[in-house]
Structure 1
Amino acid sequence: MIPISNNLKKRFQEYIKNVHYLNSSTSFLFQSPFGGRYSENTIYKLFRGILWKAKISHSGKGPRLHDFRHTFAVHCLKKWVINEENITNLLPYLSAYLGHNDLRGTQRYLRLTVDLYPNIINSVEKNLSFLIPEVSSNEAN
């Protein structure tokens, strides 16, 4: 289960009312026309078709559907750093939102980007500088 906005909830309810009304099975929200789930191959082909229509090239390495998930996670981290949020407290929420059982799965998505680096350095210096004191010039060697 993941949290969703009320607007998206209403859209899902409408979708379920219109699409699932004849089907007694509701195990899959987006069922294939033949019942059950879509295969990975079908999802890949549908996504490639969307990329083609949008005139977005696909090199075989991307973009992939999974890239949207990674981008979402990285943008959350970036927003938190910029807003000086406590990432340690918020990371479990992101992990739950992404459907991970523990933080290890979430940590794979969180890569530091170049534009975040100065904010992280400033945050570390502001909050943790007492842990690693400045080195005086005679201690440099």
Structure 2
Amino acid sequence: MNKIFEYTSIFAPFINDFIHGKELQGYKATQLKWMLLEFDKFFTQTFKKDLFISSGDVKNWVGTRTCDKPNTLYQKYCAMADFCRYMCLLGYECYIPRRPRKCFANYTPTIFTHDQMRTIFNVCDNLAMKEHHAKSIMIIMPALIRVLYSTGIRISEALSILNKDVDFDRKVIVLNNTKNRCQRLAPVNETLEQVLRQYISYRNRIPTPGVANPDSHLFVSATGRPCSRRTVLTYFHRIIEECEIPRRCDQRGPMVHEIRHSTAVHSLIKLTRDGVDLYCSLPLLATFMGHRKVLDTETYVRLTQEMYPEVLKMNAEVTDQVYSFIISKLKQDYENRCD
């Protein structure tokens, strides 16, 4: 067990076994470890001496989480409930907390237009350093952004690609470290292949031993080390500013992940214009995006001006007439009920 995740409460051996069982099932347990570490510290601070979690213990723990967002608290409730259920299976009767109602995020991503994506590519190609930074990742940005847009993969999946995962013979990138813990293939078209070959040729000139080894990362900094998501986000914000793409009023974006949203929308546009029926295109898009369910893909697909400009440019007079008609019908129904 990592030294960061050293559990000290009376539940420590059970927590370690619980996490180990999850990992054997292929579960990515990093977030679970952090949440259970929080529970463990709470039980240590409250001097818990018996192997029993009561409803009062859960209530007292919730009282310490007043700063957590609703979705974060929901995830912690789920982790606590799973662990209590595990303890019950071992013969230690514990109170299984009821999960609170899940709050769905009202986050609306930015969908880049085709023109905006071309501008982003152009800015990436013309990035220049004002001063020397040995750890700069500027070399990867033109290729990385094109990989994200062409394949629709997540930024975490892109940064975990190894050199051996790029198969130019089969025209695919093998993705092993995915969100759903399932290996999948990302297609590589001719344009993306040219971009990757050019990037690899320049990257291999970095005077760092092993940068071209099959087990080394594809996207590395100027020192040959793997890149972090935070650093990529910093460069992406700089690119967005140079493209003069406005931020939302909440100042949260656009984020790198919104390239994936844009890819989903643009792919659906292309399928629709090619005459593919919507009920056939959504399953295809779900497979391309690496989703297990079509419902997951539907959250990525949004009505944009590029898809249906005639709908979004409807004259206000038309909508006003519809609105007036609905109001008149409601008033008429109300008067009839009163009579």
Superposition deviation, residue 82 in structure 1: 4.6
Partners of 2:268 and 2:281 within 8 A in 1: no
Q: Between Structure 1 and Structure 2, whose CA radius of gyration is higher?
A: 2
Residue ranges of structure 2 left out of the alignment (5+ in a row): 1-184, 312-339
- Measured after TM superposition, the shift of residue 3 of structure 1 is 1.4
Q: CA RMSD in A?
A: 2.9
Specify the alignment match of 1:46 in structure 2: 235
Percent identity at matched positions? 29
Query: Which of 33, 36, 58 is matched with 2:222 structurally?
Result: 33
Q: Give yes or no for the alignment of 1:100 onto 2:284.
A: no
Alignment check: 8 A CA contact 1:73 1:110 kept:
yes
Q: CA deviation at 1:101?
A: 3.7
Q: Indicate how the Cα distance of structure 1 residues 20 and 49 shifts in structure 2: closer, same or farther if over 3 A, else same.
A: same
After the TM superposition, list the runs of 4 or more consecutive aligned residues in structure 1 that deviate by more than 6 angstroms: none
Amino acid at match of 2:277: N
Instruction: Give the TM-score, by structure 2 length.
Output: 0.30
Letter in 1 for 2:197: Q
Equivalent residues in 2 for 1:66-105 (5 A)? Answer: 66-105=257-296
Does the C-alpha gap of structure 1 residues 40 and 11 become closer, same or farther in structure 2, counting only changes over 3 Å?
A: closer
Gaps of 5+ in 1: 119-141
Cα distance in 1 between the residues matched to 2:255 and 2:194: 28
Q: Which has the higher contact order (CA 8 A, sep 6+)?
A: 1
Aligned 8 A contact 2:186 2:288 in 1: yes
CA spacing shift, 1:18–1:44, aligned 2, 3 Å: same
Aligned equivalent of 2:189: 5
Deviation at residue 85 of structure 1 after TM alignment = 1.7
Distance in 2 (alpha carbons) for counterparts of 1:113 and 1:52: 22
For normalisation by structure 1, the TM-score amounts to 0.63
Q: Given that residues 268 and 285 in structure 2 are in contact (C-alpha distance below 8 angstroms), is that contact kept between their aligned partners in structure 1?
A: no
| 1:130-141 to 2 correspondences below 5 Å | none
SS at match of 1:2: strand
Cα displacement (A) at 1:91? 2.1
Which residue number corresponds to residue 61 of structure 1? 252
In structure 2, distance between residues paired with 1:73 and 1:17 = 30
Deviation at 1:34, TM superposition (A): 4.3
Instruction: State how far apart, in whole Å, the 2-side matches of 1:26 and 1:104 are.
Output: 35
